[in-house]
Amino acid sequence: MQYLINLPTAPFDSGRFSQLLIAEDPSAVLDRIADTLSLRLSTCLSSRELQRLGEESGLALEPSAITLLPSDCCGGCGG
């Protein structure tokens, strides 16, 4: 699943969030969208699990801050 996370303006430990994410889903991909307060990530975790990881890294994420993006799977890999 792909998510867009709108970050609050308060600073948080993005390294810690990344560590926790990879510990739960080693295949997760996370990147920050340049010039925005947003993260884009691909993971098998649910939005509720992402909220929990945010809390553990000092990032209070409201449910409305996490948007599930539509799939862009072309089916070419057979998945």
Does 78 reside within a domain?
Answer: no
Residue 36: per-residue pLDDT:
81
Does 79 reside within a domain?
Answer: no
Q: Which CATH number fits the domain that encloses residue 59? A: 3.30.70.100
Q: What's the pTM value of the predicted model, to 2 decimals?
A: 0.83
Does 74 reside within a domain?
Answer: no
Does 75 reside within a domain?
Answer: no
Residue 9 — φ and ψ, nearest 5°? -75, -15
**Could you tell me the two tokens for 75?**
């089916």
Q: How many domains does the chain have?
A: 1
Q: Is the pLDDT of residue 79 over 60?
A: no
Give residue-wise pLDDT tens across range 35-50: 888 889 999 999 999 9
Q: What is the mean pLDDT of the chain?
A: 87
Structural domain boundaries enclosing 9: 2-69
Give residue-wise pLDDT tens across range 21-37: 999 999 999 998 878 88
